[in-house]
Amino acid sequence: MAAAKASCAKRLNRIEGQVRGIARMVEQDRYCIDVVTQIAAVRAALKKVEEVILQDHVGCCVEHAIESGDKDEQRKKVAELVDVLGRVRG
């Protein structure tokens, strides 16, 4: 959990800087394709943060529900995961 949190914080700080850079590019009337290229880079970076968080969720929350033997908790965690994957992938 701590490693995932640190990794995400580092990535999000970098993304924040990229977004500020994109704002400057727009203000400076930079070439549209360069701006769109940077937006795509931010999207890819956010996707990686999402993957790290989802991996951590499965390795921690879902795994804990499975180990607990509590069928209701297991169903709840799996349903949450399926729901969020449907929203982020769809």
Report the candidate in 36, 58, 39, 59 with the shortest Cα–Cα distance to residue 47. 39
Q: Give the rounded distance of the alpha carbon of 34 from its chain centre.
A: 24
**pTM (2 decimals)?**
0.84
- What domains appear along the chain, each with residue ranges and CATH number? 2-89 (1.20.58.1000)
> 41, 22 in Cβ contact below 8 A?
no
Instruction: Answer whether 15's CB lies under 8 Å from 42's CB.
Output: yes
- Per-residue model confidence (pLDDT) at position 1: 78
Cα radius of gyration (the chain): 18
Looking at residue 64, its pLDDT comes to 93
Q: What is the mean pLDDT of residues 30-53?
A: 97
Encoded tokens for 19: 């977004």
Predicted local confidence at residue 80, as pLDDT: 94
Residue 90 reports pLDDT greater than 90: no
The angle that helices 32-57 and 71-89 make with each other, rounded to 10 degrees, is: 170
What confidence tier does 2 reach under pLDDT thresholds 50, 70, 90? confident
